[in-house]
Amino acid sequence: MESEHHPDKPYVLATGEKAVSRLDLLEQIFGPATRQLLSAAGLCSGMRVAEIGCGIGLTARWVSTQVGAGGSVTGVDSSPGQLRVAAEGAAETGATNLSFHEGNAYETGLPRDSFDLVYARFLLCHLADPVKALAEMSSLLKRGGILVCEDHDDGGIFTEPATHAYKRLVEISDAVNRSHGLDSSIGLKLPRLFREVGFRQPQVNVNQITVLRGEEKRFWELTLREAESAILAAHASTSAELDAICEEMRKIAQDESILLMLARVTQVWARKPGSPGDRGL
């Protein structure tokens, strides 16, 4: 992909306590596939793990149960509000192998060559320079350590039958992304980006998340509301149109004759070259 020549603009969604409901729903939707991915990639007891862009720490808390007392998990996020919620949640569970650290994806502040596994979900879609972030994550890994990322692309969001609301959602999302220097197709590009930073044989899986009923069907309605200020600032829509789209989405969520393709998620993992007998898997 083309390199970006401008710094990242502010994150377009809510953070901290204001984001808890949406992020809880996100984990409910995407968490099961994430847990399967991390297990398939090689997550196991005793590992030292870093999650970059950890949000409110829901995935990090689960990972901490998998690495056990002999392992550790460090969550990194640039939002103090997210980290405050994450730390409170960790304290409630009594986890002693889990810590959180303020930093950004380009300069995490974590020690080089120190982690067995580094993970990020839905992070690169918010970054103007995803290659730089992947290089930073790679630098944190020991030789033979595992890099695991998953991200979506806007082309995987639609309904059957087609609806105006979800057609406009994709158009609006792409307009906001372009105004922020972001890539709406980043998920599909992950395998190539992994190779660009030195992982020669990345493993790939693609999940199309679909919902017909339930609270999960309101995920994009809630996300659209959180992003309203950024959408208006990018002149990608108007308040009146957003109200109409959200109302249509609410009705779609109640209509079990409409199938929502919630997201297409590309999952990629690979070992950092350098372990004995390693072939760059």
Integer Cα distance of 46 and 30 in angstroms: 25
Nearest CA among 229, 151, 149 for reference residue 183: 151
User: Quick check: 10 pLDDT over 70?
Assistant: no
pLDDT, one tens digit per residue, over 82-116 is 899 999 989 998 889 999 999 999 999 999 999 99
- Residue 6's pLDDT is 36
Stated as kind and residue range, the H or E segment containing 176 is helix 164-179
E strand intervals along the chain = 48-52, 72-77, 98-102, 115-121, 141-153, 158-160, 203-211, 259-271
Has residue 154 been placed in a domain? yes
Has residue 276 been placed in a domain? no
The 3-state DSSP class for residue 72 equals: strand
Integer Cα distance of 13 and 173 in angstroms: 12
Domain count, the chain: 1
Looking at 1-5, 38-42, 252-256, which range is the least confident one?
Answer: 1-5
Pair type for strands 48-52 and 141-153 = unpaired
CATH number of the domain to which 32 belongs: 3.40.50.150
pTM: 0.90
Q: In sequence order, what are the beta bridge partners of 205?
A: 267
Total number of residues shown for the chain: 281
Rg, C-alpha atoms of the chain: 19
Has residue 126 been placed in a domain? yes
- Residue 280's pLDDT is 44
Has residue 280 been placed in a domain? no
Has residue 79 been placed in a domain? yes
Q: What percent of the chain has pLDDT over 90?
A: 84
Print the domain residue range for 67: 16-271
